Amino acid sequence: MSATNSSNDKTNDTAATSQQTITTQKEKEIHLDEKGNEICNIFLNRGKCRYGKKCHRSHNVPELIAAEYYERRRRKEHELENKKKQKNGDNNNSGKKSKTVANNQGDGNHRIAINYIHDHVETYNNLYLTSLFRGELKNNCGNVLCKDMCSIESCRKTLLNHKSLKKELTEGLSVLHLIGTLLGDNGSANMAGGGKYGVSTTNGGGNCNGDNNNGNEKIVSFAGLQNIQKPVRIIDVGSGKGIFSVLSALAFCSPNATTETRLSCIYMVDSDRNMNLSYLECTPQLSSKITFHNFDIYSKSFELWVMNQYNQCVEQGEILIMVGLH
């Protein structure tokens, strides 16, 4: 009888200890917003919640907490990528066949969306894509996408190989062309209404009458981006995977840029913190200019953050551009 009681006591102690551990873990996972309300863990981890506005917990995540979760996820992605590389290296050493990444010309088994767009750009009758791969953006933007970034696995999987890539490239390039047209002559004066949007002047970034390298195709000129006289800060609202942010970082890094032309930074803003953004570390142009910020754009915290960015731009003499492509 005493042995049975002793066994029951041990079981109860174990259960109590287990319950205490679970309670402690739950307490560690509780986060509070600016008003002291408990933040929804599902929204914090996934960037969305099935209950939406009906959820009893807060979806207003402070930037510091969001940044902590994003940094933790990025470290985990880097660890997984390093393990995968190490595994591929071990397979090579043991004589097993490993996956190879095709270059721009690559073999047919490894071609992805960006390769097909590059090779068939003449058939699309698309001035923006022609300018990207045949015009003045070819060296610092088109070649980087098709060769340098295309050789990196994370870029191939998450950024450069999906059905809507052609549409997203066209949209992003059209916005860059508009920015160059509005700001290329005289910066803030054009934004205030003094500049005239059009496609007739090269300085304004909108000459559509230029020819490509073969001399038989029309292209769009992005020269206006290199004539902006003030530093530019871009907020890419609802960035998704970040096609527009990548195009902006590469397009502003032209060797023809004047000494006054500077891209201050690009902020990718999205509510999905589970995106694989490890490709942002693949080139210096991206890693030094682009940062990701997790926000619900309908929240008060996002509004305050935007106002803070605006005040900083006013103090530092920068141009703030907010772009939302959907």
Q: Which residues of the chain are modeled with pLDDT < 50?
A: 1, 3-4, 11, 14-26, 96-109, 186-216, 257-260
Q: Which two tokens stand for residue 246?
A: 């990548």
**What pLDDT is attached to residue 323?**
94
Residue 209's alpha-carbon distances to 12, 135, 142, 214, 263, in angstroms, are 83, 12, 20, 14, 27
Do 228 and 197 form a contact (C-beta atoms < 8 A)? no
The one-letter code for the residue type at 245 is: S
pLDDT tens figures, 94-111? 554 444 444 444 443 468
Cα separation, 62 vs 65, in Å, equals 6
Q: What is the dihedral of CA 200, 201, 206, 209, to 10 degrees?
A: 60
Q: Which two tokens stand for residue 71?
A: 């940094």
> Regarding beta strands 290-294 and 218-219, do their DSSP bridges make them parallel or antiparallel, or are they unpaired?
unpaired
Cα separation, 94 vs 304, in Å, equals 56
42 exposed, middle or buried (CB, 10 Å; 0-12, 13-18, 19+)? Answer: middle
Cα separation, 235 vs 213, in Å, equals 33
Ranges of CATH 3.40.50 domains, the chain: 224-325
The one-letter code for the residue type at 204 is: G
Q: Which two tokens stand for residue 1?
A: 């009888």
248 exposed, middle or buried (CB, 10 Å; 0-12, 13-18, 19+)? Answer: buried
> Regarding beta strands 218-219 and 232-237, do their DSSP bridges make them parallel or antiparallel, or are they unpaired?
unpaired
Residue with tokens 């490239």: 169
Q: Which two tokens stand for residue 158?
A: 């998450």
- CATH topology for 224-325 is Rossmann fold (3.40.50)
Cα separation, 221 vs 316, in Å, equals 29
Q: Where are the alpha helices (DSSP H) in the chain?
A: 2-28, 41-46, 63-93, 113-119, 127-134, 143, 153-158, 165-183, 188-191, 243-251, 284-287, 300-316
69 exposed, middle or buried (CB, 10 Å; 0-12, 13-18, 19+)? Answer: middle
Cα separation, 93 vs 87, in Å, equals 10
